[in-house]
Amino acid sequence: MDVVRLHGSPQITAELARLALKEAPEGRLTTPTGATPVLSKDLCRILDAAQAVQTGVVVLLALDISDVDQCKKAAFNLAGLLGEPVRVEAADRSYWYSLGVDPMASPIAANGTGPNVPHVDMMTFRAYPSAMAILCERPDPAGGGRTVLCNFERAVARLAPDEIAALQVPVYSYWRDEGLINVGQHLDHFAVLPTGEERRIRFTSKLPERIAKEPLPPEAPERAGAAVRAMVTALEAERMELLLEPGDLVLFSQLHRCHGRTALKKGAEKIAPDLRRQLWRLYFNLALPMNDPNEVPGHRGPS
């Protein structure tokens, strides 16, 4: 199963938003001293099903978007129940990052109007966030801008052994995002596919373009360039597209999936700003899988 679809009623959205979670100084979510919120049975069922994101399943939860701020608080708290929300930009105190439409942006940028090829966000950083939540406030009125997700495990299974071996050598490089925090050290060179206990895949379908501009170092395997192109092809073969509706919240693991966007329909930049496609992105690190949905640190289910 690739996608778990869940329905969050207005009552569930409100309950999630009301949870007494707060940010501790070290960045974790905790409960105020002595407070132990009780989760309703319906929310426990949703939380139980949402645990599937730990194993690479895409979780799609329909929330009530009538109050955008409440909906964002609900999504934030759900991420806090599944792991730890992460603030990644030093200059911004918010956890939420706008994925709107900027007519002046590059078409391939996160807020552009063109296609955004499959990639892992902040992939060059040693501890890039392991998961992401994308909340849809408004879709593209013309039906473009589908969210793209590609399955890493199945894509790698399509590769030849020598291609896999070439992608496990730390000879690849990519440009560095500046001004980031809580994501660890930037890697000047990295392996695309992990070895040993490392779980993070580091890949963007723009990597062939990067290699064309900055050739791989002499010690790179002979098949390195071909392996990168094969990875692009394999990911395209394991691609899904989701057309999000208002209130849809997508949760996925960056350890299992890369993501992107299809192009918006022609003329998207001419649409009034308050009607343009507007998504919001939140990063979080997944906690260890829980056996019981009520086993949330600092929380308990209904007695």
Listing DSSP states for 132-176 in one string gives EEEEEEE--TTS---EEEEEHHHHHHTS-HHHHHHHTSS-B--PP
The rounded percent of the chain whose pLDDT value lies above 90 is 77
In this prediction, residue 266 carries a pLDDT of 83
The CATH number given to 3-286 is 3.60.130.10
The rounded percent of the chain whose pLDDT value lies above 70 is 88
CA–CA dist 131, 205 (Å, integer): 19
- Amino acid identity at 122: M
Tens digit of pLDDT for each residue in 195-248? 998 999 999 999 999 999 999 999 999 999 999 999 999 999 999 999 999 999
CA–CA dist 5, 240 (Å, integer): 14
In this prediction, residue 163 carries a pLDDT of 98
- Among 100, 99, 1, 103, smallest CA distance to 58 is for 1
Q: Residue 302 pLDDT more than 50?
A: no
Q: Residue 170 pLDDT more than 80?
A: yes
Angle at 217 between CA 209 and CA 192, to 5 degrees: 60
In this prediction, residue 276 carries a pLDDT of 92
CA–CA dist 271, 106 (Å, integer): 17
In this prediction, residue 39 carries a pLDDT of 85
Tens digit of pLDDT for each residue in 80-103? 999 999 999 999 989 999 999 988
For the chain, domain boundaries: 3-286
In this prediction, residue 28 carries a pLDDT of 52
Q: Residue 188 pLDDT more than 50?
A: yes
Rg (CA), the chain: 20
In this prediction, residue 108 carries a pLDDT of 87
Question: Could you tell me the pLDDT band of residue 142, with boundaries at 50, 70 and 90?
Answer: confident
